Structure 1
Amino acid sequence: LDRPKGRQSMSDLNKNKRNKKVAEEKEMTYEQKLERENELLRLEVEYLKKLRAFQMDPEGYLEKHKQRYHSNSKKSSN
Structure 2
Amino acid sequence: MSVREKWSRPIEEEKRLIWELLEKGEISGSGAGLPLEFEEEFKEFVGCEYCLTVSHGHTALASAYYAVGVGSGDGVITPACKS
Give the TM-score taking structure 2 as reference length: 0.29
Structure having greater relative contact order (Cα 8 Å, sep ≥ 6): 2
Name the one with the larger helix percent.
Answer: 1
Give the TM-score taking structure 1 as reference length: 0.30
